[in-house]
Amino acid sequence: MAGWAAFALSGVFYLISSIRAGDVWSAIGSIVWLIGIGFFLASYRPS
């Protein structure tokens, strides 16, 4: 779970960086990345 949290945090930092740089495609990519992590975590069931 800590690994997925780190992936999500890196996606947030990448999104912030791309917005500050004005790179729309990188911002879209990081949003898609974060949505994908959200879908995975929403379906996560601890054993």
Render pLDDT for 8-37 as a digit per residue (tens, 0 to 9). 999 999 999 999 999 999 999 999 999 999
Is residue 47 situated within a structural domain?
no
pLDDT at 47 over 90: no
Domain count, the chain: 1
Q: What is the pLDDT of residue 23?
A: 95
Lookup: tokens for 21: 């740089």
Range of the domain at 29: 2-9+18-42
Backbone angle region of 44, left / alpha / beta, with phi > 0 → left and psi within -120 to 50 → alpha? beta
Average pLDDT over residues 31-44: 90
Q: What is the pLDDT of residue 43?
A: 85
d(CA 47, CA 42): 15
